[in-house]
Structure 1
């Protein structure tokens, strides 16, 4: 999708779209962008392996777990297990990580406000990765 404003409504079958994400990848995550507007982006992503502590400078993030279970660590909170039907919210610049995948596939519907460009991932320890090693977008 482009960052141009959509002029019509869209409907998405999240379960069907989530099933198109690969079972494995060289990157930590793979995602499928559903919308990519200036005001917000919406994606489905699958976590393939633990994601080290990182943050985003462009957006607040809403994460709704579609399938699987994982441990999430968010600055200021004790790590906790999350699973299907749970929604997690945090503000931009909040350090967060997925240190453990407990049940695969761990798939999440994400809404970023405003839009999160794919390159906006900053690792607390820069040696942990780059935007290119973090996520690969499928179109």
Structure 2
């Protein structure tokens, strides 16, 4: 990764490789950018993520590695490398099944998604601290 005053270059594969093999949270991410207009992250899914939604942003997910099932509202689809998933703010979504590890995404949130913006349909399924943890790059 090379930082400049007005932009950055990222080696996505190298950064994704730094995500650990296991995690206590459902997901682990690396925040690449965190601006008011948008945030960009790489994240790995370690176990199924129950249905949830975000109140701050639309989300674009590009599958980098692995395979799994993504649910958006009532539709479930198997996804893998090269697939792009998009859903609007407040749309219920989740990851009911991981078919191949590591299951890694590039995420772009517009506008920015605060780290604690996760709301489970069933509150007993978790909260922001059980959902995702961030690491530095």
TM category, shorter: over 0.9
**Deviating 4+ runs (over 3 angstroms):** none
1:133 partnered with 2:130: yes
Q: Superposition pairs for residues 1-139 of structure 1, below 5 Å?
A: 7-76=5-74, 78-139=75-136
For residue 16 of structure 1, report the CA deviation from its aligned partner: 0.6
In structure 2, stretches of 5+ residues that fail to align are none
Q: How many residues align?
A: 133
Query: Partner of 2:8: helix, strand, or coil?
Result: coil
Partners of 1:28 and 1:18 in 2: how far apart?
16
In structure 1, stretches of 5+ residues that fail to align are 1-5
For residue 7 of structure 1, report the CA deviation from its aligned partner: 4.1
TM-score by length of 1: 0.94
For residue 8 of structure 1, report the CA deviation from its aligned partner: 1.3
For residue 35 of structure 1, report the CA deviation from its aligned partner: 0.2
